[in-house]
Amino acid sequence: MSASVVATRPFEDQKPGTSGLRKKVKVFQQANYLENFVQAVFDSIGDFAGQTLVLGGDGRFYNRQAIQIILKMAAANGFGRVLVGQGGILSTPAASHIIRKHKAFGGLILSASHNPAGPDEDFGIKYNIGNGGPAPEGVTDAIFARTKDIGEYRILAADDISLDDIGETQLGDMRVEVVDAVADYADLMRSLFDFDAIRALLAGGFTMAFDAMHAVTGPYATAILEDDLGAPKGTVMNGVSKEDFGGGHPDPNLTYAHELVDVMYGKTSRPAPDFGAASDGDGDRNMVLGNGFFVTPSDSLAIIAANADCAPGYQGGIAGIARSMPTSAAADRVAEAMGLECFETPTGWKFFGNLMDAGKVTLCGEESFGTGSSHVREKDGLWAVLFWLNILAVRKDSVANIVTEHWRKFGRNYYSRHDYEGVDSAAAGQVLQTVRDQFTTLPGQRLAGRLVSACDDFSYADPVDGSVSSNQGVRVLFEDGSRIIFRLSGTGTSGATIRLYLESYEADVCKHDMDAQDALAEMITAANEISKLQALSGRDRPTVIT
């Protein structure tokens, strides 16, 4: 085996987004495209000679082929060991845990998260640093800079290795260890939650359904929920991982997880279970449902925080809470009641990493169906599901009762997100600029029956390293704490996604039973009027409402 140096030319479109580089599969299949980006990562992350790299992905189309290329490049570039998930599979939170457990230099995670998969769909790759979290902006900026002037990459001339058999293989001077993709993660979950209490709950007539959406959490959920905790076989729906995710869109929300939603709202022949949940393509997102009842991700974070002492791993207390800026302020109210600090960060899990490493927060979450804690440095879908099961086992109450009791104590943050997907990028940018152009005139006006107090483009100064992230979302803030927020998503692969966030706080218990869209109707109208969103986007309604 010998290392080759292959001449190449830069591609102009390799700027990593919020969660790495995401493009259509056919883009990644271009000669040298994946290789250029991987070499740019290796050239930008420092001295890793002899160190360990973690490698795996969500099993989508092109996952196996990409892993074989990356293994040969890692060997040619001087890594001493690569830990790769069996079959090339690692959920994103499991990869984060393995990086941390084995003190790896970092990891490459192959995923486009909740985006569709298949030969004509999406693929992605991101680099996670040694703390197990996504690379910070300084690293991704360096990677992008390197992609623009790269002239060669290094790769080992070698045959592919088996990814299906657990064990060790030598690849040049580098050792490749194929590891059980589930075992280490399952052990971590046992250390955090009361599995005996959850087993008793499931054995006592409590029913649940978990939709793995034919994505990466299928084997994780089957091993933990059915094999370990004793949930009946078939509790895990769509549990067989497929390269095209069964042709579905593996985004655990009310629109795309419609099969689970139908089950939980009694629209099928089976009785609606007591508890339902779903996870996404790479296993880091979650949706939580009760019998005929949807729990918003913002409320889920707040309720987990308020009930953290139900889980053994958190009974010593939590250090603090963090949420992304577009996430509702429900968690802020819990933090205040608990005497804890609540941090407001830009969207992107990497912003939570510094806070967790500094011991400032234990729990964190995003409205985009992501919740997690300091056990890893990624959001973690199955962890959130197990936390809810632990709470239900201790509280011995329904999901709906737990949520409504929480509202009675803390008030309800009516909240919704409207996504306009695949919008022309220039038109999407103009929507935000239209609101920016009114920053000086909107304050003092009344919109949706509320007084506008301020407008801004959210900027975040990291309290740990002092770095500043600007232009993180256009906000219209109201005197009563309500908010209208416009933001462009960084997770798509074509066009742009405009995200409109709406929030209104209601303290009056007598007004807690409204449908969120009805409660926010005047704000929705006002948001469209000030932004000209529908006129500029050419859309008369959102693609997805959550």
Residues annotated as catalytic are: 113
Q: Provide the strand spans (E) within 301-398.
A: 321-324, 342-345, 363-366, 370-373
Cα 357 to Cα 253: distance, rounded to the nearest angstrom: 30
Residue 187 phi/psi, 5-degree rounding, is -60, -40
DSSP per residue over 374-419, as a string?
Answer: TTSSS--HHHHHHHHHHHHHHH-S-HHHHHHHHHHHH-EEEEEEEE
Give the other-Cβ count within 10 Å of 204's Cβ: 9
- The CA distances from residue 382 to 90, 94, 261, 369, 438, in Å, are 13, 10, 18, 12, 42
Cα 273 to Cα 523: distance, rounded to the nearest angstrom: 34
- The CA distances from residue 185 to 85, 114, 354, in Å, are 12, 21, 22
The β-bridge relationship of strands 275-279 and 286-290 is antiparallel
Q: How open is the CA angle 165-37-10, to the nearest 5 degrees? A: 145
- In the chain, what is the greatest distance between 2 CA atoms, to the nearest angstrom? 73
Cα 389 to Cα 231: distance, rounded to the nearest angstrom: 12
- Counted residue by residue, the chain has a size of 546
